[in-house]
Structures are given as structure tokens and as C-alpha cells.
């Protein structure tokens, strides 16, 4: 079976290989006795019943084997024959689920957008669509059915906002303002202001693929989002010497965001910045 834009749905066997912790039959020994174990795999099956097919899976990289079975993991779903974003290009709507079995996370659902052109996912911020958390204690399968329905309903709103971003053109100075604000999500703003970090924020506007060339808000956002999350951008960092305290400047490179939590937080913050720019532009217009 395949979902929209030819992304193959994953079987439970494949999911288990990509994120073994979704199969956990019991919680971490450190979890309270009132905790009710609900396998992520059972929630995946409930989402399937509602037409949401799992298409991506990963879990937190941990160093010890005893944590690997219970650590945080992420599953992304796409809805069969979904047309929520059909009017805005090569993007498709996703439901993003994170969970763990070590007390670090409840079932946490969000909306996301997947860009087929560069396999670069983003998560829509809570300002666009309220995140939904489902606790293990008192778990009821009907809660997941309700989540699936709300995710589908939220998709149209996401598509509408993306369509509006495509119709808003940004001047170069406005693009630089958005890039500077985004850079402060990568670096400590105080380090940037003090000169400890010397980073040309215009690099976030660089075009990695011709399909992202253009001056509308959606294309500018996509360039910033990919450059921010994919890493590989050069900058200079000033550090005091260990012996004499003399400041030394050395070259450094931004790293690809691999952490599940940081990836989600960064993408949500970037989306919020883009929404803020949209509100400013549409209010001015």
C-alpha cells in the first residue's frame, strides 16, 4: 500500500527495526506503579484504522542497551488520499507522534508538513494547530480516534496558511530580518551580539535547490528551514585560551539537527516566525 506522493506505508516489522522501543511490552523499571503501559505499536494500529499510515520512524540514540527499549521515539503518518495540501505544491500533511516508556514523554501528537522535493520535514507550531497529549494513565482508544479526526480537520488550516505564504512577497531587507531571527534559534543571541559568534545570517537564505528560489514567504521560509536544520554553514567562534585567557578565533560549522526534541522545537519556532511575518505583511497590505 502507498500513500500520497508515493511514500510507502511501513509495516509493523519495518517500524520495529527502525524504532525498536515502539514494541515495548512493559515500561522502564523506574516508572511509577500507576503507569499504564500502552505500546506505541497499538496506537499505530489505531491510527491505521483511521486512515493514517506510518511512513517514517526513528528513536533517540542512547548509549546504554537498557534504555534503548524504553527511549523516546517518533512516528510520522500520512493520510490515504489526503488532499489538504493539494493546492500548495509538493507538500503533504503528516501527523507526528512522539512517545517514550521511561516517563520522559506522553503520547504527543502534532501536525507536520513533508516536502517531497527534499525529504525535509517540518512540524507545525502549536500556534497553528494545538498539540494534543494523551496520557498513559487512563488511556482510552477512543482518544486516538479523536486525535486522528482532529488532525485531519487541522490539515485544511495548515494548507490555507501555506497558500497565503505563497502569495506574500518579501523584500530583501524583510528576508534578512527573518533570517536574523532564525539564526538566534541556532546560537545564543548574547554570543552573537557580543561577537563571540560571528555568523553571516544571510547564509540562511542560500538556495540549495532551484525549486526553492524565489521571494515569496513560503520559499524564503523553506530555504531558512533547510539551512537551519541541515547544517553545514561556516561561522567563526571566539574562545578565551585556557592558559592566558587570550581570545582565539576558530572556524566552525553548524551541525545537522538530529535530536528528536530539538528538531521539533526548532521547526515549531521557525514556523512561528514565518507566521509572524505573514501577519505583519497581510496587516500592512
Q: Is residue 205 domain-shared with residue 134, that is, in the same domain?
A: no
How far apart (Å, rounded) are the C-alpha atoms in residues 150 and 155? 9
How far apart (Å, rounded) are the C-alpha atoms in residues 97 and 74? 6
Q: pTM of the full predicted structure? A: 0.83
Among 111, 130, 161, where does a domain finish?
A: 161
Among 161, 189, 208, where does a domain finish?
A: 161
27 is a domain residue: yes
Q: Is residue 133 domain-shared with residue 240, that is, in the same domain?
A: no
167 is a domain residue: no
Q: List strand residue ranges (DSSP E) for 189-274, in order.
A: 197-198, 234-240, 247-253
How far apart (Å, rounded) are the C-alpha atoms in residues 70 and 48? 23
Q: What Å distances lie between residue 22 and 27, 77, 100, 185, 208, CA to CA? A: 11, 14, 8, 30, 35
What is the pLDDT, as a whole number, of residue 1? 39
What is the pLDDT, as a whole number, of residue 156? 84
Provide the number of structural domains found in the chain. Answer: 2
Which residues are registered as beta bridge partners of 234? 253
49 is a domain residue: yes
What is the pLDDT, as a whole number, of residue 31? 56
166 is a domain residue: no
19 is a domain residue: yes
How far apart (Å, rounded) are the C-alpha atoms in residues 161 and 205? 21
What is the pLDDT, as a whole number, of residue 38? 80
Q: Is residue 197 domain-shared with residue 128, that is, in the same domain?
A: no
How does pLDDT run along the chain (285 residues), one tens digit per residue?
343 455 789 999 999 999 888 876 655 446 555 556 688 899 999 999 999 999 999 987 765 655 566 678 899 999 877 777 655 567 788 899 998 866 656 789 999 888 765 666 788 876 677 788 888 777 889 999 999 999 888 888 888 899 999 999 999 999 999 999 999 999 999 999 998 999 999 999 999 988 899 999 999 999 999 999 999 999 999 987 656 667 788 999 999 998 888 999 999 999 999 999 999 999 865
Q: Is residue 98 domain-shared with residue 197, that is, in the same domain?
A: no
How far apart (Å, rounded) are the C-alpha atoms in residues 285 and 282? 5
What domain range is 65 assigned to?
Answer: 4-161
Q: Is residue 57 domain-shared with residue 121, that is, in the same domain?
A: yes
Q: Is residue 124 domain-shared with residue 258, that is, in the same domain?
A: no
What is the pLDDT, as a whole number, of residue 104? 58
Q: Is residue 13 domain-shared with residue 143, that is, in the same domain?
A: yes
Q: What is the 3-state secondary structure (H, E, C) of the chain?
A: CECHHHCECCCHHHHHHHCHHHHCCCCCCCCCCCCCCCCHHHHHHHHHHCCEEEEEEEECCCCCHHHHCCCCEEEEEEECCCCCCCCCCCEEEEEEEEECCCCCCCEEEEEEEEECCCCEEEECCCCCCCCEEECCCCCCHHHHHHHHHHHHHHHHHHHHHHHHHHCCECCHHHHHHHHHHHHHHHCCHHHHHHCCEECCHHHHHCCCCHHHCCCEHHHHHHHHHHHHHHCCCEEEEEEECCCCCCEEEEEEECCCCCCHHHHHHHHHHHHHHHHHHHHHHHHHC
Q: Is residue 8 domain-shared with residue 89, that is, in the same domain?
A: yes
For 147, the 3-state DSSP assignment is helix
What is the pLDDT, as a whole number, of residue 256? 93
Angle ∠(68,69,71) on CA atoms, nearest 5: 60
Q: Is residue 68 domain-shared with residue 153, that is, in the same domain?
A: yes
Q: Is residue 20 domain-shared with residue 141, that is, in the same domain?
A: yes
268 is a domain residue: yes
Q: Is residue 34 domain-shared with residue 136, that is, in the same domain?
A: yes
Q: Is residue 21 domain-shared with residue 128, that is, in the same domain?
A: yes
51 is a domain residue: yes
Residues contacting 122, CB < 8 A, separation 6+: 112, 113, 115, 225, 267, 270, 271
Among 134, 161, 188, where does a domain finish?
A: 161
Amino acid at each position: 500500500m502507498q500513500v500520497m506522493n508515493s511514500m510507502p506505508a511501513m509495516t509493523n516489522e519495518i517500524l520495529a527495526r527502525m524504532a525498536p522501543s515502539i514494541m515495548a511490552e512493559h515500561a522502564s523499571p523506574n516508572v511509577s506503579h500507576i503507569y499504564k503501559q500502552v505500546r506505541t505499536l497499538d496506537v499505530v494500529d489505531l491510527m491505521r484504522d483511521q486512515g493514517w499510515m506510518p511512513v517514517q520512524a526513528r528513536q533517540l540514540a542512547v548509549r546504554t542497551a537498557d534504555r534503548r527499549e524504553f527511549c523516546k521515539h517518533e512516528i510520522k503518518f500520512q493520510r490515504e488520499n489526503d488532499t489538504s495540501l493539494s493546492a500548495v505544491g509538493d507538500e503533504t500533511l503528516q501527523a507526528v507522534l512522539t512517545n517514550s516508556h521511561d516517563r520522559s514523554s506522553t503520547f504527543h501528537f502534532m501536525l507536520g508538513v513533508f516536502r517531497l522535493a527534499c525529504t525535509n520535514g517540518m512540524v507545525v507550531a502549536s500556534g497553528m494547530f494545538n498539540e494534543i497529549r494523551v496520557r498513559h494513565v487512563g488511556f482510552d482508544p477512543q482518544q486516538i480516534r479523536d486525535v486522528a479526526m482532529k488532525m485531519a480537520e487541522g490539515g485544511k488550516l495548515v494548507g490555507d496558511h501555506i497558500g497565503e505564504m505563497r502569495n506574500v512577497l518579501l523584500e530583501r531587507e524583510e528576508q534578512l530580518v527573518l533570517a536574523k531571527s532564525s539564526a538566534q534559534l541556532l546560537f545564543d543571541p548574547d554570543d552573537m551580539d557580543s561577537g563571540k559568534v560571528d555568523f553571516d545570517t544571510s547564509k540562511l537564505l542560500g538556495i540549495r535547490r532551484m525549486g526553492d528560489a524565489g521571494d515569496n514567504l513560503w520559499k524564503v521560509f523553506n530555504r531558512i528551514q533547510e539551512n537551519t536544520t541541515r547544517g553545514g554553514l561556516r561561522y567563526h567562534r571566539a574562545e578565551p585560551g585556557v592558559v592566558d585567557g587570550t581570545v582565539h578565533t576558530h572556524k566552525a560549522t553548524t551541525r545537522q539537527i538530529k535530536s528528536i526534541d530539538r528538531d521539533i522545537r526548532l521547526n515549531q519556532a521557525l514556523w512561528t516566525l514565518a507566521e509572524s511575518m505573514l501577519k505583519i505583511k497581510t496587516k500592512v497590505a
